[in-house]
Amino acid sequence: MSVKDSLFVPVGEPIEKTSNRVTVVGTGAVGMATVVSLLMQGITNDVVLIDVMEDKLKGELMDLQHGALFLKNPKISASKDYADSAGSKVCIITAGARQQEGESRLDLVQRNTDILKHIVPPLVQYSPDTILMIVSNPCDILTYVAWKLSGLPVNRVFGSGTNLDTSRFRFLISQRLGCSSSSVHGWIIGEHGDTSVPVWSGVNVAGVRLKDIQPKMGTDDDPEGWKKLHADVINAAYEIIKLKGYTNWAIGLSAASLTNTILKNLHNVHAVSVLVQGHHGITEEVYLSLPAILGDTGVVSIVKQTLNPDEQASLQKSAKAMAAVQADLKL
């Protein structure tokens, strides 16, 4: 008799299957920050890592498993084979080339579109009921590409979008005001990139709109220069990439927070990349970020945000820019 058989008297059959499996495709800087954020916060205890680099997969798996004592008995697996991701509730795509110093997110588009062609069909084949979250850049266009490649309904494919930009924005405002990010309400919508739109008209603390205190807030003649905060949000990735080569911690936390809302059906509102055709006068079939309620079925509703004419025009301009890039894509 083995030690195990001598030690235990079986009573019931253990169940291996869980309902909160999350697959993360891409075990680079972003993918691993996402996995660690998910595990350390106990958002799920069932994670599958997928990549094309076998040694990297094995190394990351071993390293994570050796931390099991400090986590919540997670079930972690790593594989090149999508069959191992079967039954995932959420699949997060972080695979692909990243920006080089000085390169814009849009420059990556065809390279990462080609990579998605190898990822999305097998993911959906093995997890037909999954919700797909796209993190790879350019996030909005790749979310559109993933939606097309997946054949999934529109509520089940979204991009992490400006959830990160919004977090950067709220942090920067909070630093000036001396209160926490979570107490500053404000949204960055539109492209996760250079044409994102800060909704200054809605920025508030405890319902007090900062624009009511300083009507010039966010404009060129604002005496306190708040507009610079949006420029800082746009430049954040470029600056961090210049300093450390890539960005990963904040995006990992952002993707984990979105996953938490879905797995726990929280109906929190997040700025995520959704199909925006028909919203705010946009006619193109493109994805951009708007505040949306997320839940068990993915994107549940899009908030009809009150935007001023300038904000609306900026969104429409982003939509046109996305459509122009999409028109040249080989899907």
Nearer to ligand NAD, 112 or 314 (CB): 112
Q: Does 247 bind ligand NAD (CB under 6 A)?
A: yes
The one catalytic residue in 66, 185, 192, 279 is 192
Q: Does 34 bind ligand NAD (CB under 6 A)?
A: no
Q: Does 322 bind ligand NAD (CB under 6 A)?
A: no
Q: Which residues pair with 34 in a beta bridge?
A: none
Q: Does 99 bind ligand NAD (CB under 6 A)?
A: yes
DSSP string, 49-110: EE-S-HHHHHHHHHHHHTTGGGTT--EEEEES-GGGGTT-SEEEE--S--PPTT--GGGGHH
User: Which uninterrupted H or E stretch holds 23?
Assistant: strand 22-25
Q: How far is the CB of 171 from ligand NAD (least distance, A)?
A: 15
Active site residue 192: yes
Nearer to ligand NAD, 226 or 287 (CB): 287
Q: Does 137 bind ligand NAD (CB under 6 A)?
A: yes
What is the token pair recorded at 216?
């010039």
Q: Does 118 bind ligand NAD (CB under 6 A)?
A: yes
Q: Does 94 bind ligand NAD (CB under 6 A)?
A: yes
Nearer to ligand NAD, 89 or 192 (CB): 192
Q: Does 126 bind ligand NAD (CB under 6 A)?
A: no
Distance (Å, whole) CA 19 – CA 306 = 37
Distance (Å, whole) CA 126 – CA 139 = 23
Q: Which residues, numbered 148-177, are part of the site for ligand NAD (CB under 6 A)?
A: 160, 164
Q: Which residues are catalytic?
A: 192
